[in-house]
Amino acid sequence: MSAPAPLLPGALGADGRPITLGVMGGGQLGRMFVQAAQAMGYFTAVLDPDADSPAGLVSHHHVRAAYDDPAGLAELARLSHAITTEFENVPAPALATLAQQRPVAPAAACVAIAQDRLQEKTHFERSAAHSGVRPAPHAAIETPEQLAAVPAALLPGVLKTARMGYDGKGQVRVKDRAELAAAWDRLGRVACVLERLMPLRAECSVIVARGADGQCVVFPVQKNTHRDGILAITEVHEGAIDPALAQRAQAATQAIAQQIGYVGVLCVEYFIVDDGRGGLDLVVNEMAPRPHNSGHYTQNACDVSQFEAQVRALAGLPLRTPVQHSPAIMVNLLGDLWFAPNGVRAQASTEAVSPPWDELLALPGTHLHLYGKRSARVGRKMGHLNITGPSVAAVRDTAARALALLGLPALDA
């Protein structure tokens, strides 16, 4: 079956209205998708219940409704010629409802897999037949009988809720069976997956974009540093990741997308672990059916950003293999920085103070992206800083100076 005709930028639809791309969710990822779509000449529509949602504030249309509200979904479908999502916890049935009227990418079935860690692990195991990259040894825990039958080889491990987990939420490290039982009680005895704790050396991620015609392009591999379960730093440059591991991660990510006929932008996260023989191996961790924080560097370091790729895939435009033209480092900017300027917490901890943007932007190759959120809160994602330069040394030097200005921990050696 041939792919549908592309939705061309600046064109009119059969209904006589400008081609409009819709997005479920009004957060920062939706905002950057909207900005990329508008830069290419599309109109945009956002469904989000928050009147101050970052994407809603900059979109042509903002449907203020819950994600499962029938009237809101009908209005988004009326306004849009194709629809995507900006976060994985949008109700999959809502996407299925929209798909009855408009092209939706990614499909509800693909999003449903990413919403359930048990389904996700099953999909990764199937994809491993093609890629050779498997998830960590694991077991489902949905009943007391399954809890009692957990193999000893999975301990110590990490107990994760099967649904609604992100940024380290819904996860508990456990050393033994007593801690495992207590953790399952603490998580409400909901469906969980226990993963064996792996000998972690580093973390990385890969972003692919796949069109309805099956064309798939892959971005460079991103090395990620997390703190308290939240992405802090992404490095994408020569020497960040072993080239052989990078190639395996890219091939595995393409296989994961191909196996479910994925359409859109997909990010897959990996652990780099000791292989027990003095070398390194890859373990697939989880996937996000959308652009990802670790791909923000593409806005300033690549000829096609992850958000433009998302627009292209949704609209049925040609997907071009991204080319990274500059080494890059991305720094995640959390709301903590507004309450601890230069790393020193203000006396009045409730009073937000803007970080020293003027000093940061005086550094070479710095690109500030703030998300338009009305107020800063500790732990809230407020923006990111992309740093590019002519060489790895230059980028790392600028990043070191930027992190010092912000009072953040230095880069790993």
Residue 8 and residue 265: Cα distance in Å, rounded? 19
Q: Is 112 helix (H, G, I), strand (E, B) or coil?
A: helix
111: nearest Cα among 99, 93, 129, 138: 93
How is residue 128 written in tokens?
């491993």
175 is in an annotated binding site: no
48 is in an annotated binding site: no
Q: Is 237 helix (H, G, I), strand (E, B) or coil?
A: coil
Q: Are strands 381-388 and 366-370 parallel, antiparallel or unpaired?
A: antiparallel
> Same domain, yes or no, for 25 and 54?
yes
> Same domain, yes or no, for 261 and 144?
no
| pTM, 2 dp | 0.94
Contact (Cβ atoms closer than 8 angstroms) between residue 240 and residue 223: yes
> Same domain, yes or no, for 216 and 364?
yes
The mean pLDDT of 166-191, rounded to a whole number, is 88
Predicted confidence (pLDDT) per residue in 319-338, tens digit: 999 999 999 999 999 999 99
171 is in an annotated binding site: yes
Q: What does the pLDDT read at residue 346?
A: 46
What is the CB neighbour count within 10 angstroms for residue 246? 18
342 is in an annotated binding site: no
Does any domain span residue 151?
Answer: yes
> Same domain, yes or no, for 313 and 216?
yes
Residue 87 and residue 27: Cα distance in Å, rounded? 8
Does any domain span residue 413?
Answer: no
> Same domain, yes or no, for 172 and 219?
no
169 is in an annotated binding site: yes
Does any domain span residue 402?
Answer: yes
Phi, psi of 150 (to 5 degrees): -60, 125
Of the listed ranges 10-24, 309-323, 330-344, the least confidently predicted one is: 330-344
160 is in an annotated binding site: yes
188 is in an annotated binding site: no
Of the listed ranges 77-81, 86-90, 166-170, 206-210, the least confidently predicted one is: 166-170
Residue 309 and residue 265: Cα distance in Å, rounded? 7
130 is in an annotated binding site: no
Peptide bond into 156 cis (omega under 30): yes
Q: Which amino acid, residue 345? A: R
163 is in an annotated binding site: no
Predicted confidence (pLDDT) per residue in 131-168, tens digit: 899 999 999 999 999 999 999 999 999 999 998 766 55
Q: How many domains does the chain have?
A: 3
Higher confidence at residue 350 or residue 362?
362
> Same domain, yes or no, for 290 and 266?
yes
Does any domain span residue 128?
Answer: no
167 is in an annotated binding site: yes
Q: What does the pLDDT read at residue 278?
A: 87
> Same domain, yes or no, for 188 and 278?
no
Contact (Cβ atoms closer than 8 angstroms) between residue 191 and residue 162: yes
Q: What is the DSSP letter of 341?
A: G
Question: CA 182 → CA 45, 174, 177, 355, distances in Å?
Answer: 45, 9, 9, 41
> Same domain, yes or no, for 306 and 180?
no
Q: What does the pLDDT read at residue 131?
A: 86
Instruction: Give helix then strand counts, H and E, for the chain.
Output: 13, 17
Helix axes 117-131, 108-115, angle to 10 degrees: 100
Q: What does the pLDDT read at residue 341?
A: 57
Contact (Cβ atoms closer than 8 angstroms) between residue 335 and residue 377: yes
Does any domain span residue 229?
Answer: yes
Q: What does the pLDDT read at residue 198?
A: 92
How is residue 165 written in tokens?
């987990």
Contact (Cβ atoms closer than 8 angstroms) between residue 224 and residue 234: yes
> Same domain, yes or no, for 165 and 232?
no
The mean pLDDT of 372-377, rounded to a whole number, is 92
> Same domain, yes or no, for 190 and 299?
no
> Same domain, yes or no, for 212 and 295?
yes
> Residue 385: pLDDT above 60?
yes
Q: What does the pLDDT read at residue 348?
A: 41
Question: What residue numbers bound the domain in which 52 lies?
Answer: 20-104
Residue 367 and residue 333: Cα distance in Å, rounded? 12
CATH of the domain at 399: 3.30.470.20
Residue 144 and residue 142: Cα distance in Å, rounded? 7
Contact (Cβ atoms closer than 8 angstroms) between residue 317 and residue 6: yes
Does any domain span residue 326?
Answer: yes
> Same domain, yes or no, for 269 and 388?
yes
238 is in an annotated binding site: no
Residue with tokens 């096609």: 304
Residue 175 and residue 31: Cα distance in Å, rounded? 41
Q: What is the DSSP letter of 195?
A: E
121 is in an annotated binding site: no
42 is in an annotated binding site: no
